Amino acid sequence: EFRRVLFRSSGGTLIAGNSSVNLTCDAQGTIITRAWTKGGQPLSPNDRTTFSAENRTLSISPVESGDNGQYTCTVNNPVSSAHETHTLVVNCEYF
């Protein structure tokens, strides 16, 4: 059974078109699967979004303004499920 989900962001101020971010999802207990969603919709890899082995880390490079929002990692094993949500804030820089 999971006691808590540990969610880490590589953090710092994110600037659209310039910055990258890594979101890492761990939990205490045996993890069988991890799933990532943004605003309730499943995330898929694309030219800017990649996942590490076993979906532990979600990487977005570079971030864009559309990446703003709530990212949820859900971890599952045969006896329990747990999730944690992180709000990503991307700033637009105007010159």
What band does 42 get if pLDDT is binned at 50, 70 and 90? very high
Q: How many helices (H) and strands (E) does the chain have?
A: 0, 10
ω into 62 cis (within 30 of 0):
yes
Triad 19, 92, 87: Cα angle to 5°: 70
Stretch 15-42: mean pLDDT: 93
Q: What is the pTM of this model?
A: 0.90
Q: What is the pLDDT of residue 12?
A: 85
Rounded to whole angstroms, how far apart are CA atoms 95 and 90? 16
